[in-house]
């Protein structure tokens, strides 16, 4: 895409240079020469050789100054582009530092993100295509981090902090749309990228607004709440009156508009695709499993997307894409391809117990074996303890199995969910003076859900050269559905106890 923009830019530059050359020729040569010939025709006796010499000198000087002005102007453009690129590089680095995903979130850093983003957008029109693309991706990732961290616990923020965060996000949306409008027809692709940025920031902000709204009244135990997020990029309505309190009329109008928008979105295929694009942008960095977003994008109405806020009720049966095997002994963790892990969790001392599923069966969060991912889970639990009402974000995929049952697979956030469950258990069984009756409801899950209405697999020809062995969104979906097994595992079953990679 960037290369295409460069070629378009080169063609436009060539056309503009040709136009400038034609203008120079017309003003500095053709027009003076025409006037001179007309004057000589009217009064040839008065037109002498020194007149021709003066005319030629004036034309040469005119051409020289015109060329100098053009060269200096181009040099000024290069300097402006270099300054803009430097500003964007600096801002990108600052955004990476201030928005790096922290589980508990940081209000002090979060409040800077919008200001840095708006400042960088001022230099966007003068920057190179590479830096423009890098900036937009960085801003989108920064607001994704806000959605996962600070916005996910928006109900616990002081009103003044939340109002500043909301105002900053709305400012970024307005700035992006203003810059896009200023680019005009000369940069349609950049304008589209800026509009998508504004839509994604609006979506992230709407998550925080809905989480904050669910705090009044408190979340009912055992009753998941579907959040009415702004998927389609409609600018958020003003939230408060001058006194800082949202009026009932504003609440009713915003709720009605969101409900109508959600209903319309469910009826339109284009809106369904927009929802998947929002989730793909949100999890562009976070989702590290093997995946193929095009399988989801091409699914038509077979996959619905929503955002759900709930307590821990029902998470016992959620599947984790974690596997153990005793082929060969002893029991050890493996990945989805039946290979040994290439991370620290490879050394986890997994404790065997009766009925523990072996590969290719996925582990359930209600039955994770002792010792599995213990260090990462313990570190996240320590961070969660700092939150009065702890909220964890997960990406889940509702898989329709071959038998027609639906199982929920946690694609991202398994460590966080395991830590949340451990914290709830700790609060429930702690010392009597620390014990909390609502331990299961003050730890919550913000789930981004992709839900199959029917099995979604891509034709094998579509995946040739990319993922030839499995046809779903991830190979974990293939295992959960029971329609795919890795070659290494099949060779093991065939009797090769030490298959090659």
Question: Is residue 176 located within the same domain as residue 284?
Answer: no
pLDDT per position as a tens digit, 333-348? 888 889 888 777 777 8
Question: Is residue 195 located within the same domain as residue 266?
Answer: no
For the four alpha carbons of 139, 145, 149 and 152, in that order, the dihedral sign comes to: positive
Flag whether pLDDT at 99 surpasses 60: no
pLDDT computed for residue 421 by the predictor: 92
Q: pLDDT band at residue 158, thresholds of 50, 70 and 90?
A: confident
Q: Which range of residues forms the domain containing residue 22? A: 1-216
Assess if residue 297 is contained within a domain.
Answer: yes
pLDDT per position as a tens digit, 298-312? 888 899 999 999 888
pLDDT computed for residue 285 by the predictor: 83
pLDDT computed for residue 237 by the predictor: 46
Question: Is residue 330 located within the same domain as residue 441?
Answer: yes
Q: What is the pTM of this model?
A: 0.74
Assess if residue 463 is contained within a domain.
Answer: no
pLDDT computed for residue 323 by the predictor: 92
Burial environment of residue 257 by CB neighbours within 10 A (0 to 12, 13 to 18, 19 or more): middle
Q: What is the DSSP string of 486-498?
A: -HHHHHHHTT-SS
Assess if residue 414 is contained within a domain.
Answer: yes
* CA-based radius of gyration for the chain: 31
Picking from 282, 252, 332, 268, the residue whose alpha carbon sits closest to that of residue 101 is 282
Question: Is residue 122 located within the same domain as residue 253?
Answer: no
CA-angle at 209, arms to 124 and 280, nearest 5°: 55
Flag whether pLDDT at 476 surpasses 90: yes
**What φ, ψ does residue 451 adopt, rounded to 5°?**
-120, 120
How far is residue 367's CA from residue 357's CA, in Å, rounded to a whole number? 9
More confident residue, 286 or 208: 208
Question: Is residue 264 located within the same domain as residue 375?
Answer: yes
Identify whether the C-beta of residue 355 lies closer than 8 Å to the C-beta of residue 73. no
pLDDT over 90, % of the chain: 17
Question: Is residue 50 located within the same domain as residue 174?
Answer: yes
Q: What is the mean pLDDT of residues 230-258?
A: 55
pLDDT computed for residue 2 by the predictor: 41
Q: How many domains does the chain have?
A: 2
pLDDT per position as a tens digit, 44-84? 666 666 666 666 677 676 666 666 666 655 555 555 555 55
Prior bond of 151 cis (ω within 30°): no
Assess if residue 277 is contained within a domain.
Answer: yes
Question: Is residue 17 located within the same domain as residue 87?
Answer: yes
């Amino acid at each position: 895409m960037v290369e295409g923009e460069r070629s378009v830019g080169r063609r436009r530059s060539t056309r503009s240079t040709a136009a400038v050359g034609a203008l120079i020729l017309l003003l500095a040569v053709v027009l003076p020469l025409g006037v001179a010939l007309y004057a000589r025709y009217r009064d040839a006796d008065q037109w002498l050789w020194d007149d021709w010499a003066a005319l030629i000198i004036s034309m040469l000087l005119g051409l020289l100054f015109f060329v100098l002005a053009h060269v200096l102007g181009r040099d000024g453009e290069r300097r402006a582009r270099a300054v803009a690129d430097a500003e964007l590089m600096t801002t990108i680095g600052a955004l990476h530092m201030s928005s790096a995903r922290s589980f508990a979130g940081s209000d002090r850093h979060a409040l800077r993100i919008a200001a840095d983003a708006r400042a960088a957008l001022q230099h966007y029109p003068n920057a190179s295509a590479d830096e423009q693309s890098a900036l937009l991706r960085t801003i989108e990732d920064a607001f994704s981090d806000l959605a996962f961290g600070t916005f996910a616990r928006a109900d616990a923020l002081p009103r003044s902090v939340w109002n500043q965060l909301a105002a900053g996000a709305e400012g970024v949306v307005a700035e992006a749309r203003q810059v896009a409008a200023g680019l005009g027809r000369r940069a349609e692709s950049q304008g589209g990228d800026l509009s998508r940025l504004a839509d994604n920031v609006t979506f992230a902000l709407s998550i925080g607004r809905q989480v904050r709204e669910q705090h009044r009244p408190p979340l009912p135990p055992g009753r998941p709440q579907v959040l009415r997020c702004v998927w389609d990029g409609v600018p958020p309505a003003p939230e408060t009156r001058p006194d800082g309190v949202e009026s009932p009329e504003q609440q009713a109008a915003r709720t009605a508009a969101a409900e109508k928008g959600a209903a319309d979105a469910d009826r339109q295929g284009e809106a369904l695709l927009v929802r998947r694009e929002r989730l793909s942008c949100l999890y562009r960095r976070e989702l590290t499993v093997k995946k193929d977003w095009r399988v989801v994008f091409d699914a038509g109405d077979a996959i619905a997307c929503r955002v759900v806020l709930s307590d821990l009720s029902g998470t016992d049966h959620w599947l984790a894409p974690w596997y153990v095997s005793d082929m060969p002994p002893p029991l050890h963790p493996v990945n989805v391809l039946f290979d040994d892990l290439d991370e620290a969790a490879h050394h986890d001392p997994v404790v065997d117990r009766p009925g523990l599923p072996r590969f290719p069966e996925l582990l359930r969060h209600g039955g994770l074996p002792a010792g599995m991912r213990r260090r990462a889970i313990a570190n996240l639990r320590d961070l969660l303890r700092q939150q009065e009402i702890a909220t964890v974000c997960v990406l889940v995929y509702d898989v329709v199995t071959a038998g027609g049952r639906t199982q929920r697979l946690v694609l991202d956030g398994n460590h966080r969910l395991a830590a949340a469950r451990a914290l709830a258990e700790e609060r429930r069984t702690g010392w009597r003076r620390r014990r909390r009756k609502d331990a299961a409801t003050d730890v919550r899950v913000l789930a981004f859900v992709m839900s199959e209405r029917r099995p979604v697999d891509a034709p094998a020809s579509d995946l040739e050269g990319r993922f030839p062995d499995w046809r779903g969104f991830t190979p974990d979906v293939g295992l959960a559905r029971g329609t795919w097994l890795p070659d290494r595992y099949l060779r093991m079953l065939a009797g090769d106890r030490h298959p090659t990679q």
